[in-house]
Amino acid sequence: MFGIQKISEVKMKFKNGQLFWGFLFLTIGSLFLLDKNNYNLFIPNNIIDYWPVLIILWGIAILLKDTILKPIVSIITGIFLGLFLYASVFGFHYNSNNGDKNEEISTSEFYENYIDSTQNATISIRTGMGKISVAGTTDKLISGVSTGINNSLNFSTRYSNNNARIVLRHIKEEFIFGNNNHSNLEFCLNPNPVWIIDLQVGAANVIMDLSEYKVAEFNLETGATTSELTFGDKEELVKLNIEMGAATLKIRIPRESACQIKGDMVLVSRELEGFNEVDQKRYQTENFETAKNKIFINFDGGVSTLKIEKY
């Protein structure tokens, strides 16, 4: 009797494994096949932001071990992981609601003239795909270019007293899987104002060299991305608020600046150059008490990788 039960358990485990891997490859293969035959697959553009669902499904699978519901969870997990992997690797294709399926790579330039009395400026960026690059300076308030398929960028600037607010948004209605599908957003800022940068991205890679700007605050909310940020020493106090999903983040800071990191990083792979652990959720550089310039990082990460290096 014991031997029969063991054989049954092995068969059940093998069957669940077959269902998971089978539906995983069926999902990915079907997406490839449909894309190659020019079918429009309307998928939510923020599916990557729902990566915690995978952890939940795996947890449910463990709880339902050796039950009749385990095969169903295996199927759902395989399908969702297939969608997630395809979206992470191949990104999204923009498709507007006007029914026009023609895909055209277009480029739009944008800028806003600088007003000398501007002391503070905020830039808010919302995008779900592609790449964002920032480097260099300009004599305008902002100057840049946006490139992509069916590229549609919403750019606006508002002045109030000595403050300026810039909004950059990629207009996104529906996205489809496909190749050559990323948008690129490149811009540079004026070095005179004190900047607050607010960035929300889905599957976009972010490469920002902010070392020549007076950055007082930087907010990043991202899903599955690879990002590299460089900060300078133009401001004595810099606040960073980072919220990440399954992402990789590299932060470069000046060697003479002090830095403190706070956050729950149990599932985070960390490489922190020159940091000491103060307590379970706080790390500081050795010069934190004596340095003139300080960078404070509040970090909230999922299954992610964080690297901080000095230059």
Helix axes 52-63, 70-90, angle to 10 degrees: 160
51, 137, 222, 226 from 88: Cα distances, Å: 10, 32, 13, 11
Confidence (pLDDT) at 178? 45
Q: How far, in Å, CA of 253 to CA of 238, rounded?
A: 11
On the 0-12 / 13-18 / 19+ scale of CB atoms within 10 A, 69 is exposed
pLDDT of 55-112, one tens digit each? 888 778 778 877 788 888 888 888 888 877 776 655 544 444 444 445 567 788 999 9
Question: Are β-strands 131-137 and 205-210 bridged in parallel, bridged antiparallel, or unpaired?
Answer: parallel
pLDDT of 249-303, one tens digit each? 999 999 999 999 999 887 788 999 899 999 889 999 999 999 999 999 999 987 6
pTM comes to: 0.69
Name the residue ranges covered by the structural domains of the chain: 2-90, 105-310
Residues 309 and 272: beta-carbon distance below 8 Å: no
pLDDT of 191-246, one tens digit each? 999 999 999 987 778 999 999 999 999 999 987 678 999 999 999 999 999 998 77
Residue 73: CB atoms within 10 A of its CB come to: 22
Q: How far, in Å, CA of 137 to CA of 190, rounded?
A: 6
CA atoms within 13 A on the CB side of 111: 12
